[in-house]
Chain A
C-alpha cells in the first residue's frame, strides 16, 4: 500500500519528531510512504479566520500535491477536519473532491484502514491522560463525546491500550476544549490561556504524567500553558508512543 504523508506546516517547522514518528510507524506496517516535497499547509489558518480568498492558494497547492494518491495520512485531526469538511476556497473539481475524500487522520487510518491493534515494539510505563482534539472528537468522530448518549468507543484508546506498561487516567472534564482554536489562541488570548490552564490542571489532578493527543496543535498550546505555570506534566503525540517512544 502506498500512502502520501501529509505533515502540517507547524509539525514540519516546530515538531519534526512527530512527523518522523508518523512516517516510521506507517513504515513498520509495510506501508510505502511518500512525502510530497512541495507541501506547505492545508489552508486552515486562513479559512478559520474567514479569509477564504487567502486560503485558496494553500488549498490549491494541497490538492496539486496530493491528488495522485489513494491515501493521504496526516498526524493532525484539525487539519484533516479542514480538508474533509471545509476545503472550499477553491473549485470543487474531481481532483479536489478526491483529495478531500482520501485524506485520513493517523489514528483513523491505523484503526479503520490498516485495522492494526498490536504495537509489540511500544512500551510507555507512565500515567497518561488522553486529550481528544475537538475536530477529532466531534467532527472525525474518533471517540464517543460526552454530549451524546451512545455506546462508548475510542479509537485512540483502542490503539494505546496495546502499549505495554501504559496507564490511563481520566480528568474530570475529558471532552472540554483546551482553548487552542488556531488564531483564537491569540485573538482571544485571555480565554484561550485560561482554558489551557484549566485543561492541564485537570489532567495533573487526575494524576497524569503525560498528556497524549493526536492533535499537536492542542499540545503546543497546552505545553506552553503548563510550562508557564511550572507544572510537572509532559506532552507527547500519539504517533510517538505507538512508534515506541519510552518517554
Chain B
C-alpha cells in the first residue's frame, strides 16, 4: 500500500491561501475558546487527572466492564453484537438491516463507521445511507471523508459549501449565507428522517453499570435518527465503555469545553432501551483496539474521548488540513493511532509534528501524545520504514557527530560549517531548507576555534 506523503499534501493545502488562513484562524479560535472555558473552572487540571484515571481504570478492566455493559444492555431489551473488525461490523449492520427489509439508514456522525468504511459497503449492497450531521453531510455530498473528528467540513469556506449544495441539493450557488445553507440542508434531510427504515449513531460513552449509550451532539440529528425509525443501531468502539453513570458527569464537563469551547453540548442523550415496538441494536467493535491495548507505549491512546482539542491546537494540523493525513483520524491523535492500522502506509505521519507538546497539554484525558509521536518514530526506524534518504543522512550524521575527529573535519575549514553542518540536520536532495528560507551567514570560525585562541592558554 502506498505511503501517505503528508508533506506533499500539505504543500497543496498551503497553496490555497484563503482556505489555509481561514482554517488556521477558525481552529485557533476554537483553541482560544477552549482556553477561556477551562480558565473558568478552577478544578480543570484536577478533572483532567480524574478523567484520565477513570479511563485508565476502565481500559485495564476492559473485559469486565464490556461484559457488564452487555448484561445490562440485554436486560434493558437491546440486542448486543460483537465485531472483531471492520468487516464484521459492516456485515452485522447489513445483516440486521437486510433481514428486516430495511434499505434506508439515517445516521449521526460516527468516526467508527468512517474507520470501518461502512458507507460504501452498505451502498454497494443496496442500502442508502444519509449522513445527518451538517458537516458530515457536506462531506458526504462532496465525496470527501471528514477532515476533523468534530467539525468534519472545517476546511471548507462558505462558498465551497454553497457550491457543493447547489450541485447536490439544489441551493442557489450565489447564496453563501450560513443560515440559508444550514436551513436548506435541514429541509432536505427532514423527509429522509421520516421515511428511514433504520437509524444509527456512534457513542461518546457506553456506561457499564446501566447499559446505556451516551451521545453528545449539537444538532439534534442523533436523537431524530434514534427516535423516528423502528430500528436503531449504535456502533461503539470497545474503548468507549466507562464504569458508572456518575463518571459521565466528569467527561461531559470536559468534552465540549475541549472540543468547541462551549460548556456543554446542546444535547446529551442517554439511550437505554428500545422504544415500544422498535428494536435497539448495539455493536461493540474491536478493530485493532485489543491489540493496541497490549502495546506498552501506545495503549494510552485508547483513553481518547474524540474531542479534537489536540487538532485545534496543533500548528501543523491547522496548516495542513485533516485530509493531508490520508487517514480517518488526523492531527496529533491520528498520528499516534493511524500507524496501528497500517505502519507502512502511515509511516510519514509521526514526522508531521514538531514535537511541540501543545497537544499533550490540552488533552482532557492526559494522553502523552507528543511522547507517543516520538516513540512511533523509533518503531518506524526500527521497522525500516524511514525513507532511504533520511535513513542514510542519519547514519552519516550519527557517525560524524559520534566522532570528535570527523566532526571537526566537517566544520573547521572556513565556511565549512555551513556547507556540512546544516546537511547533517537538514539532509535533503533538493535543498528543502533553502526553498523558502535563507541560510545563516558563515561565521569566521567555530566556537571551539575561538575558545582555543581566547581561552586556550588558561
Majority secondary structure, A binding face? helix
What distance in Å separates the Cβ of B13 from its nearest Cβ neighbour in chain A? 8
Asked if A46 and B14 make an inter-chain contact with CB atoms under 8 angstroms apart, the answer reads no
Beyond A16-B443, A149-B39, is A173–B28 a contact (Cβ under 8 Å)? yes
Flag whether B380 is at the interface (Cβ < 8 A).
Answer: yes
Asked if B401 and A12 make an inter-chain contact with CB atoms under 8 angstroms apart, the answer reads no
Flag whether B313 is at the interface (Cβ < 8 A).
Answer: yes
Task: With CB as the reference atom, state the residue of chain B lying closest to A145.
Answer: B361
What distance in Å separates the Cβ of A173 from its nearest Cβ neighbour in chain B? 7
Asked if A194 and B20 make an inter-chain contact with CB atoms under 8 angstroms apart, the answer reads yes
Beyond A57-B398, A146-B35, is A191–B447 a contact (Cβ under 8 Å)? no
Residues of A within 8 A of B427 (CB): 183, 186
Residues of A within 8 A of B426 (CB): 183, 185-186
CA distance A195 to B377 in the complex (A): 22
Asked if A15 and B443 make an inter-chain contact with CB atoms under 8 angstroms apart, the answer reads yes
Beyond A40-B401, A194-B20, is A223–B381 a contact (Cβ under 8 Å)? no
Flag whether B411 is at the interface (Cβ < 8 A).
Answer: yes
9-residue interface stretch from A91-99, A123-131, A174-182:
A174-182
Task: With CB as the reference atom, state the residue of chain A lying closest to B324.
Answer: A191
What distance in Å separates the Cβ of B376 from its nearest Cβ neighbour in chain A? 8
CA distance A190 to B353 in the complex (A): 13
In this complex, how many residues of chain B approach chain A with their Cβ under 8 Å: the count is 80
What distance in Å separates the Cβ of B418 from its nearest Cβ neighbour in chain A? 7
CA distance A134 to B374 in the complex (A): 15
Flag whether A86 is at the interface (Cβ < 8 A).
Answer: yes
Asked if B438 and A37 make an inter-chain contact with CB atoms under 8 angstroms apart, the answer reads no
Interface residues on A, range: 35 or more
Among B10, B395, B443, which residue has its beta carbon within 8 angstroms of that of A14?
B443
> CB-CB contacts of B365-384 with A at 8 A, as 1s and 0s?
00000000010111111100
Beyond A13-B421, A35-B455, A188-B352, is A224–B402 a contact (Cβ under 8 Å)? no
Asked if B451 and A190 make an inter-chain contact with CB atoms under 8 angstroms apart, the answer reads no
Flag whether A73 is at the interface (Cβ < 8 A).
Answer: no
Asked if A58 and B401 make an inter-chain contact with CB atoms under 8 angstroms apart, the answer reads yes
9-residue interface stretch from A3-11, A161-169, A236-244:
A3-11
CA distance A7 to B449 in the complex (A): 12
Flag whether A19 is at the interface (Cβ < 8 A).
Answer: yes
Residues of B within 8 A of A191 (CB): 7, 10, 14, 316, 319-320, 352
A: residues with CB less than 8 A from B are: 7, 9-17, 19-20, 23, 35, 37-41, 43, 45-46, 48-58, 60-61, 86, 134-135, 138-139, 145-149, 173, 175-177, 179-198, 220-221, 223-225, 227-228
Q: 9 A-B Cβ contacts within 8 A? A: A9-B411, A35-B448, A37-B404, A49-B351, A60-B402, A177-B358, A179-B354, A183-B427, A189-B436
Taking A138-B356, A193-B436 as known contacts, 16 extra A-B pairs with beta carbons closer than 8 A to each other, sorted by chain A number, are A14-B418, A40-B401, A45-B397, A46-B398, A54-B398, A57-B401, A58-B398, A134-B358, A147-B35, A173-B28, A181-B355, A183-B390, A185-B433, A186-B426, A188-B10, A223-B440
